[in-house]
Each structure stands twice: as C-alpha cells, then as structure tokens.
Structure 1
Amino acid sequence: MNQTILKVENLSKQYRLGKIGTGTLSHDLNRWWHAIRGKEDPYLKIGEANDRSNKATSDYVWALQDINFEVQKGDVLGIIGKNGAGKSTLLKILSRVTSPSTGSVKTRGRIASLLEVGTGFHPEMTGRENIFLNGAILGMTKREIATKIDEIISFSGCERYIDTPVKRYSSGMTVRLAFAVAAHLEPEILVIDEVLAVGDAEFQKKAIGKMQDISKGEGRTVLFVSHNMAAVKSLCKTGIVLENGRLTFQGTSEECVGYYLNDSGTHTSNFKKYDENYAKELFTLNSIGVKNVTKSFNDTLVENLGIELIISIDFKIIPDNYHITYHLYNELGEALFSFYDSKGDTKLKMGTNQLTCTIPADFFQSGNYSLALFIIKDKRTAVFVERDIFGFTVVDGGRELGVYMGREPGFIRPQFKWSVQ
C-alpha cells in the first residue's frame, strides 16, 4: 500500500529582486501576453541561483529550483541548510502561504504550519482569545478548540498569563502558546520552522517529546526545519539538505547532518580557499586548513597525531588590538569550546598573516567537527562573525589488535596525569 503523504515534483520559486512595484509593469504586460496565448512565462527562463553571498547580475533569482522529494506517512523529515538556502520558502509553498512558479505539491490530509513566532496572534487580544483565533486560522472548529483549551494552556505553561494581552508576553511565551495550539490541531502534516530556537531548555524538551508522540504514537507526519543539529538527529528519521535553492542531498538524518557539517561536500581536502566575498574593508580572509603535523592538507586527518589549524588572513591596517577566536562544534551542532591565543604568544601584523594553532595528538575523538570564526577588536567587539565557516573530519588513526575498536563516548580525549602507589 502506498504510504506517501506528501510528494514534491519539479518545484521552483522565482522572485524579482529590488523594490516591489518598480519597473514591473512591462514585465506584467509581457507575462499577460504570453499567458493569453498559452505560452510559458518568459521570465522563468532567466534568473540566478539563490546565492546570497554573490552580487546579483540579474533582476530575478531562483529561491528554489527543481526540488523533488517524497515523505511517507508518520515520517519526520528534517530540512537542513544555511540561512538563505530556501528552507522557509519551501515551507511557505507547502503551507500554501505562497504558490510555486513551476512544479507541484501533492498532499493527503490537513496541513498545520508554525512558520514564525506568533503568526496569526493579535497583540491586543489575550492568550485565551488568541488560542481561539489561531486555532480557527489553522482550521480548528470552535467546539474542537473549546474541548482542548485546558490541555493547550497546560502544555504552553502560560496559565498565569492566559488572560493577559499577548503584547505583554515575551517571545518565548508567545512561541510556547503558538506551538501548543499547532501541536493540538491533529493535522496529518505538521510543518515547523525553527520555533525551538526561541523556547527555553524545558520547553524544547517538551516540544520534541510532543513531536515524537505525534509521529510515533499518532502516525502523523512532521516537517521540521532547525539549525539545531542535535534536535534534527534526535527527532528526524530522514532529511534533505538545501543549498542555494537546490536540493543537494537526501538520506537519513545522520547522513544529512554529516553532509551539512562537512561544508555540504564542497571541498574534498582539509583546506578551503575563500573568494572575494571574504574581502572586507579591514582585512581579507584567504584560506583555512587543518592537517596532521608533518602531513599535507590532502591526507586523512587522524586522531593520534598532532593537528595544525592554519588560517591565512591579510590585514589592511595595523591590527594591534585585534585577535582571532574560534568556536568548535561537534556533529550535533553543539558548542564544545572556544579558543584563541590567550597568552598573546602571537602578534598579528599588517599584511599577510599565517596563524597556526597546534592541537596535541589524541585530543579529539573521531567524528565530524565544524568551526565558527570571530575576529575581535579590543577584546570585546566582534567585527567579523561567520558560523560553519569550515568543517573537518577526524578518523581513528589505528589501534593495536585486540583493543576495543568502537567509538568512545564524548568528543574530546583528555590527557590526564596518573599515578599509582
């Protein structure tokens, strides 16, 4: 029996750049002339890929282009991608907030969407009134809402403020209430866009538990967008990765997270060169690479040799009051630690700097890691921040025969001093 509940075929969405309503009358007339003659929209043949880091040379951009995937009933699909990759556009099309330029979306059953914090909430109305308003927008009847209102209020954790206008709620309280309404709608497909980024730890745990109950216990389907890779891996069974408006990878949630954190498979070695988009007023970022001591960037990175993290950067000023900081993340997207030259052993100079940080052997467990780069001025102001700027994989360097070959828990292998008497 076919259990496909959602099918996306050749889906594309095109937008016009610039100010709305400026210089589009001729385009609208041209579209109308093609339409009455039964011909294709002439502007679907032009347009650029949705790469937010490059300067546009066309008035049109493909926010999504040729997206194809299927979702089975009861599945939880994770949708992963960098900011501007097209995730929210895809969810808006699936939720019928906007229509595609080409392609089709076929669904079975009712779709409930939670796309932004407080969507459909009126700030002057109380939380209780907004439950009825938001429930009606999502397709619930007044009787259906009334029978579930106590359960919704209890789940949201906003009982004390439920008769207070929503304009006095914090963003966390608002998203709690909005999620509680959507989760109790009982749709066949629940679409959720990054709402867990706002809630606190307690609410995130409760929300993930509710979504697991929805998918496993009630057999409903969830489409989940998040930058929290731990949440994606724990909640989702399958996933897709979007990049510049295109679907670049499909697989299990673990495979998708690994692909995404390994810089979406865009480099084959442990060295990455940066283009003119990283040429700033004060500096130019040239490259970042990691390699084992005495090895090259093309060699596999192993855990039982020292690791060198090397950045090449040109400063256009005398950078006496600047320093470089890294944040290291594991394959779940969880921050492990930050590090920089706290002792001041290195001094950045005007012109080309090749800054090397040496990490001792057997410091990392095998696994996937990603870096965020910060350039800090006066030890307090970040003048440059780029998350997921570089990803690398550390593998087991080989162990003696008969030694446990599985992966040890955790991500760091601390080297402690031991003694016995």
Structure 2
Amino acid sequence: MDGNNEFPHGAGHYDEAALRRWVSEHDKRPGRTAFQRDRARVLHSAALRRLAGKTQVVTPGATAQAWDATPRTRLTHSLECAQVGRELGAALGCDPDLVEAACLAHDLGHPPFGHNGERALDEIAAPCGGFEGNAQSLRLLSRLEPKRFVEEEGGNGVVSVGLNLTRATLDAATKYPWPRGGRPGDPASRKFGVYEDDLPVFEWFRRGAPGRRRCFEAQVMDWSDDVAYSVHDVEDGLHAGHLDPNLLLAEPERREVFAVAAERYAPPDAEEAELAEALDRLLEQEWWPHGYDGTAVAQARLKDATSQLIGRFCLAAEGATRAAYGSGRLTRYAADLVVPRGTRLECDVLKAVADRYVMQRPDQERLRRDQHAVLVELAEALVARAPDGLDPQFRALFTAADDDAARLRVVVDQIASLTDASARRLHARLTGAG
C-alpha cells in the first residue's frame, strides 16, 4: 500500500513521498501539517502513557531521601528527549514536529525492567527472531498501537496499521535501519530496528534511502536521546544518593569510570587519557555540582548544571554541523549530524558515571536476577495457557497466528507492553507467586 495523500500546507522542505502514509487518509482538521498529526498520534498513544510505569535508571521509591521519590521514568525521559530534539532539529532546519514525534516514539518498544527486560525477552523470543526495543517500537507504530485499520486483501477481515504515520516520521524514529544481523560493519551486533515480519512496512518507508544510512532527523533524535539520558541519569543518581561527585576526583574511582566508558560507550580507539581530559573539562566548569548535599541551593545548582550540559552538547553539534553544511535547511538525506569527538567523549563519560554508580550497585544485580526470573516464568506460563492470560487484543492475534513462531511473537508482544508493576501482577496471578 503506497497511499498518496495531499501535500499539506506547511510541510516545508519535505516532498510528497516523505508525507505519504501506508494507508491513505484525509485529515479531519484541515490546516494541520502531516507531522503535526503524527506528533499528536504519538502523544495520545497508550504506548506512550505506559512508559510512565517503566523504570529509566532509578526505581521510583528507591531513593535515599524520602522527600525525593520521583526519579525519571521512560515517559519523562521521552518528554525531555523530545524537548531537546525539537529545539536542536528546528535550529538545523528540520520540521520540529517531525523530530519531536520521533523523540516521543523512540522508546515506545521498551519492555518492563528496561534493558534487563530487553535481554530477557531476547532469550525468550529466540525461536521467533529475538527481541530488540527499537524493533519493537516500529512494530508498535506500524502494527500494534490501535489507531487505524484497513481491510485485508481478499476481504478476509481487517488488520491494524498502528498509528499510520508518514514515511518521514517512521524513518526518523528508526535508530537502527536494518534487520537483525544487518548492521554495517558489525553483523554480530544485537542492535537492529525491524523484525522479519515487519519488513514490508520498513522497506516501504526506507524506499530510496541510501543503504543503511540514517536520515538526518533520526540522527538528531539519537543525539538528543544520548544528551538527555546521559545528563539526567547523573542528575537522578545524585538526587538518589548513589553518586558522590567528589569521587570523580579520586584516581581509583576515575579509572573504574574510564574502564566502563571504554567497554560500553566510547569509540574503540579512545584512550584513557582522552577520557580523562573529557571528564576534567566538565569538572573544571564553574557550574559543575561539586559538593552536592541535597539542600535547596544545591538542587538549584544541579538543575543549572543539567541545563548547562544540555546546552553545551547541543550547541557543539549545531555549530559543527553548520560549519560542515552551511546555513540552509538540513533535512532527510541532505546532511549528517556532526558531533565533535570531544563532545561525544564528554557524553560517553557521563553515561559511564551513571552506569558505574547507579546501574552497578550491588543490590541491582539481585534485582536484575529477580526481574529476569519474573519475565521468563511469565512467558512460560503464557505460552502454556495462551490464549488464556492474554489481553483481548493479543488473544485475537494469538488465535489468528499461523504457526508457533507467530504465536510466540504475540506472547512477547503482550509481555513487552506491560509496565514493571503489571508484569509482576500478571506473573503472580498466572504462577501463584506471592
């Protein structure tokens, strides 16, 4: 299906092909752009609301200070990413509604328990092609999130086409534009953006794209995601009492941070000395939150530091990209986002700080083992009892599935849709665990 909808007013530098939808439709409110409609659809989706119940880094209620029990969730992270992306994209000439929609959508596929849940579901889903949060996001946008339906060919009923977003928005929301095993230069990578049975819509919106290259808006979304979570995860770690910023001045602690950065975040050729220089550049800033103690003044200084960091990272990318491509509007495949190496390393070091002091706490390993067991046991119970135990939407999909692999994918879709709390409740109900 390659529906041709009208070229809406205000679409700017985006051609008619970028504005097409999988199923052609007419706007009930003329005057809105196609990307304003896309943004509204993601913003009003149930999948976005569910992110409020999915942990970002610090589990709600687990902070050291009783007065601060409101760390970020996947939802608040997505909203903050959207704000960063909208402003950076607009400064570079992208349609701001398009970039905001992509940022709001980028984490929709994350399962309960975050990356730990993602790893558990990848094991569970091995017989049907594995699991990846970014591929799950595309599946939600193009298939699972109830919004638009279309008659199947041959009159065999109706099927969901998800939010039926434009080609440009689906492309912008796709961080990894390749199937499993298709990452350029790294076919063993676990990162991919589309499952086998979602390839038709993927190939439709990627038609004409240069190989595995990401569109410019997706690059803006990805950098906005990096900026938002690297800065805010450190902020949440400080609020929760997990991170003492003075530790970053001690050599043994610094070496541990650099080791995490080198292993998980920084480019392979990054030397420890280069990572140390990146951290020191941040520590030398007059706004860096040295001596954070949780007082009102310290909180205000920390909030200023987060604003300074976001501005620092975004302005560096904007300046370098403008230096490379000039002052015109940069959209789709007309440019690549340029982020200076030093800026990327500063961001990578911040990610490593949050990883070392928040994610690697001793209690987190016990929690991860428990979360893994909950999802594995829940999957086993659902497979054994399905369609009993599935929500009505997934029960119908399970009944209509053609084979065991398709039925397993439905079970995985059901589990991925759950919040942290609802996964535990369903597990307790189906397994009898108290």
TM-score under structure 2 length normalisation: 0.26
Higher RCO (CA < 8 A, seq sep 6+) = 2
TM-score by length of 1: 0.27
Q: Which has the larger Rg?
A: 1
Structure (1/2) with the larger helix percentage:
2
